[in-house]
Structure 1
């Protein structure tokens, strides 16, 4: 449904904005408190829903994912940045002045095809970069919704397009992105630009001048390019060509461009991208995960505030209290990524009502994480370790060095178990089992071998324990293992260590091996199934 509102002009807050209908038609600037109040999303839980049948209640629980948003200082910073970009971008475009039409006429003399082919050095308007699931796109859309997308100025017979948000195609296609531009314009204005400019033989180069002309004719205030990392897949240097075009669009027509993407999108830009982002005219935001660091000792961290608020959304008659151990468990499993945390919280509630036990305990949370979120385990583990070499294996994760150091400290706390079992022993056992599995020892036998070695040799290191298992009769003391000067090499035969029902013993025995294997349960008797 097309929704073009008639312009209602507000008194501009500062002198530079006065007398410009494109700016005065925008809503008044919001204070940080007003922004936080507007962006805050906290779904209601009617008391009647707490007693609904489980199969109905799980549908109501979807509000946790669809309608929960906790604003932080970054949300407020992004709103103020977008508000600035919109207004400053309109300063040189005033529909009351004759220069407005002159600027549009200049577009006809610009060779955008040459610009598209010339992938020179890039300057970024501004960017929001952060790992997947941190709510970048959701926040941008929530902020843009505070502005009418299309405004009609009756006195000037002009339709203003305040903002346009495009998502880069998954294949990085330049032509696909251009077609998306026309589709988005038509959806916002009810126009037919796609039919007019997109033909079977149309190329990205041929459509660029049309895009620039439409953006100028409708006074496009802000262009948002989301999922910018997809342009990495563009062929024939297409990513640089497109980015060069959008930079030119910003420089010539003064349309601010906001790039939104994951850390992998940094490779699209020049090697000086980081310094360019810091020097951006409008500022740029590193959209990281929630922090567990506190500004003041007596204050709560961003993570504490987020999880405390989320935990109130329980569709149980008797809600489960949030304990410090559960809060730590959620941090360990989500590493402060909002979307992962919200998803895990929702799935835990669904599992709880499915088994008719409305309790969110640690065992249930472990079970849900292990079974429902297997695909993200490697990424969460990389963030938990805080090692750059592990994090760089995944394009969508943070790579900020200071963040790595902070998470490394936290990961050292995360691996300390709460049980009375000595933490070093438990950690060594886990590592030993993993190493044995990598040595192609079966997962059913590896834990038994590891336990046997640790119990009988509690003072040995991890690698000495490996030696105990692989060479059971070989002395592990490095001094004892060295042959004395001039002594002959010992020819004593090594005695292997056997386990219960060891197949090697059956193989060596002078008996009927088939009967012995069958007795040991190695051979299945299929007679009952015939």
Structure 2
């Protein structure tokens, strides 16, 4: 027989930090909210020349067409922020007690603090230059206010509070913790009008003590996420200094302050080398960005059509590029270069007094001063899947891309057989329209492909290693065994622009 007494569930305690952000952190209609189109409402045909040129300058900086990757990144960022606030509610006695306990740690060094039982979530985003990592994160952050002023609150036990929902800083170029700490204080001052960066009681602290003090300051101002950009191998190169910065990241997460770390893949690898606990930085997601393939939905159906639609010329271009193949030829799937070729070719056509852009304008712009020889080599390296062209760039993991493209000797035969057996792709015009896959399905398929590829590669590498003489992998032997068809790639090495390569 059941008892007549019923258990009552207490309603959740309102969170002063989260309540003003509810509408901003919603993931509803993200595509529409993220989209930004500078040409909206303009009569393009009747614009004067200077306005057309000004609009071209806004293409790369302000035009934002949300890709599936951008929507997924924004959703993950918002979840990281929300979870941080739900775990840190100043209206709860337990949260206030934890803040007071951490405040008593002021004056202690970073390595002498107790570790709390819980951590905030972290998000990692890695990729080579020009893919739009910073652009996507900053666009997502622009949907959230950076300052919220709170009046008296009995539940939170404050008379006045200035909340900073997000901060964005760049890693110091020398990789020093001191430089990063100063930039954090400066960013906070700019966001909410404080003067921490010039405070005398802070200026004399050692980096180890200042790191603790900054963690307390960020916690007191309810920082929802700290974004640290520009992590690269050259400015996060290890040693005691780099290890201290890694510890600082972990301490912030342990304080309850969510993090987003962004940078070059080599810089993220350097970060990982300090501690296995760096996995916590990716607890909210690990986003690996690569130049888009010519057949990727994000390129063929989202970015390329948007860039062709961004036309400030008096007339529409006669170029028919339904699948983005022409645009891909001049950008190699790199977002920044795709925007650059569209802007520079239109600017060139305007200077010549033309009413529309032709592919001749695109070729002239590509081979002109808007693109350097190194730019063209980088584009060709990804467009033609030629890792030898990528060797000249210290911040690009060309070996990883060689394996990714099936140029490893152990996967060469399988790739060749697969390509030979594959049926010819029918023209896009006769194909049914693509359906937009949900982000969850895309993530599931990508994860499955990565697991299969890694498992196959591991088995193949073990067999290959057992059959090779040790001398084969020394000095230049690594390059010779990693890259298949070396002679053919070298023969194509000079063909780095569309006009000469026929791409």
What TM-score do the two structures reach when normalised by structure 1? 0.65
Q: Does 1:210 align with 2:213?
A: yes
3-state SS in 2 of match to 1:94: coil
User: In the alignment, what sits opposite 1:404?
Assistant: 405
Q: Does 1:384 align with 2:383?
A: yes
Distance in 2, matches of 1:148 and 1:332, equals 39
User: In the alignment, what sits opposite 2:99?
Assistant: 104
Distance in 2, matches of 1:275 and 1:288, equals 25
User: In the alignment, what sits opposite 1:288?
Assistant: 290
Deviations 1:346-402 (A, max 9, x none): 010111111112332222211111112024122122223424565454344464567
Q: Which of 348, 352, 358 pairs up with 1:351?
A: 348
Give the structure with higher Rg (CA): 1
Q: Does 1:153 align with 2:154?
A: no
Q: Does 1:82 align with 2:77?
A: yes
Q: Does 1:70 align with 2:68?
A: no
Contact 1:45–1:315 (8 Å) recurs in 2: no
Q: Does 1:36 align with 2:7?
A: no
Distance in 2, matches of 1:186 and 1:388, equals 44
User: In the alignment, what sits opposite 2:428?
Assistant: none
Q: Which deviates further from its counterpart, 152-161 or 396-405? A: 396-405
User: In the alignment, what sits opposite 1:115?
Assistant: 111
Distance in 2, matches of 1:244 and 1:260, equals 17
User: In the alignment, what sits opposite 1:138?
Assistant: 135
Q: Aligned in 2, Cα 1:431/1:325: closer, same or farther, shift over 3 Å?
A: farther
Contact 2:229–2:261 (8 Å) recurs in 1: yes
Deviations 1:208-254 (A, max 9, x none): 12101101211221111011227735685322211211211211x11
Contact 2:30–2:71 (8 Å) recurs in 1: yes
User: Aligned residues, how many?
Assistant: 398
User: In the alignment, what sits opposite 1:255?
Assistant: 257
3-state SS in 1 of match to 2:179: helix
What TM-score do the two structures reach when normalised by structure 2? 0.68
Distance in 1, matches of 2:209 and 2:194, equals 20
Contact 2:243–2:274 (8 Å) recurs in 1: no
Deviations 1:73-128 (A, max 9, x none): 111211211111112112332211222332123223377635299xxxxx993201
User: In the alignment, what sits opposite 1:126?
Assistant: 123
Contact 2:67–2:302 (8 Å) recurs in 1: no
Q: Which of 302, 305, 311 pairs up with 1:305?
A: 302
Provide structure 2 residue ranges, at least 5 long, that are not aligned to the other structure: 1-9, 114-119, 420-486
Q: Aligned in 2, Cα 1:18/1:137: closer, same or farther, shift over 3 Å?
A: farther
Q: Which of 147, 150, 169 pairs up with 1:166?
A: 169
3-state SS in 2 of match to 1:227: strand
What is the deviation of 1:341?
Answer: 0.7
Q: Aligned in 2, Cα 1:345/1:161: closer, same or farther, shift over 3 Å?
A: same
Deviations 1:506-527 (A, max 9, x none): xxxxxxxxxxxxxxxxxxxxxx
Deviations 1:160-208 (A, max 9, x none): 2211111112232321211111111111221111121576655422311
Once superposed, what is the RMSD of the aligned Cα atoms? Answer: 4.0
Deviations 1:15-60 (A, max 9, x none): 9975322222312376656111000112226665544553553123
3-state SS in 2 of match to 1:21: coil
Distance in 1, matches of 2:276 and 2:354, equals 50
Q: Aligned in 2, Cα 1:28/1:199: closer, same or farther, shift over 3 Å?
A: closer
Distance in 2, matches of 1:403 and 1:50, equals 45
